[in-house]
Amino acid sequence: MQRFENQVVQREQCPVSLAPPEKIDFFRHAQNRTLQDLEFVKCEFVGEGLATYGRAVNRSAARDIRLKNCRVNSFFGIGAIFDDVSVDGLLTTRHPVILSACALRHVVIKGKCGRFLFNRQICHDDDRRNAEFIADNDELYRNLDWALDITDADFSAFEIRASIPPRLIRRNPDSHFIMSRAVALSNEWKNYEPSGAFQIGVSMFLESGADEELFVAARRSKHFEAELNFLRRLKSAELVA
């Protein structure tokens, strides 16, 4: 495993494996990449990302990756696969870590972390491509034992947006709560003075068509106590688990 420590890491420094080129149209080809067997300790990433180009074949991937006490200015994952990845402390600066239509297998996030945003869709303007990646992710998750472990993570913000089935997420039941679709549709939760952010979260959950959604009271957020108290009230009313 190649190790990087106490440095600003550029993508050119990391060895990659390239997938066979995929023909996108008559004029160009796309070639996706895999990062593997890398360890980063007290490193900083600036403007880095891992994207899948074209269709959901030979997707870009990060496998056997370890991060400890790192910092990221902005990171985007688009349609990539994260497999056997461990993150122990990852602070964000200007922008959150954004993962769109990514698939996770045995990913552990713990320690002090910044903002994380998971999107179900890969893009906003291509329904066919969105459907393809959602179906591919659903197939990957069908027989998976677990996808993501956030039991010991202290986030500034965390939104899952129906991108990973909650049954595949290892969580802390004291501050991570699951709502069913039936409860979301019942509107009973509206009787407990939800924040605007929570209402948006439920709306996006219903639009996704998912059966369940995970809501996290982020411990490093300035709104943590209010979010936690609200979610605990919902739990006492048996509206979340």
In the three-class reduction of DSSP (H, G, I as helix; E, B as strand; rest coil), residue 56 is classed as coil
| Residue 123 included in any domain | yes
pLDDT at 194 over 90: yes
Separation between Cα atoms, residue 76 and residue 118, nearest integer Å? 10
Tens of pLDDT, residue by residue over 221-240, are 999 999 999 999 999 999 99
| Residue 179 included in any domain | no
Dihedral (Cα; 100, 24, 20, 37), 10-degree rounding: -20
| Residue 185 included in any domain | no
pLDDT recorded at residue 120: 94
pLDDT at 28 over 90: no
pLDDT recorded at residue 95: 87
| Residue 233 included in any domain | no
Q: How many beta carbons lie within 10 A of that of residue 203, not counting itself?
A: 11
| Residue 232 included in any domain | no
| Residue 143 included in any domain | yes
- Tallying the residues shown for the chain, one arrives at 241
Separation between Cα atoms, residue 195 and residue 122, nearest integer Å? 27
| Residue 223 included in any domain | no
pLDDT recorded at residue 69: 98
Domain tally, the chain: 1
Tens of pLDDT, residue by residue over 46-98, are 888 999 998 898 999 999 999 999 999 989 999 999 999 999 999 998 789 99
Tens of pLDDT, residue by residue over 98-113, are 999 999 999 999 999 9
| Residue 187 included in any domain | no
pLDDT recorded at residue 11: 77
Domain hosting 39: range is 2-23+31-171
Instruction: Quickly state the pLDDT bin for 26 (edges 50, 70, 90).
Output: low
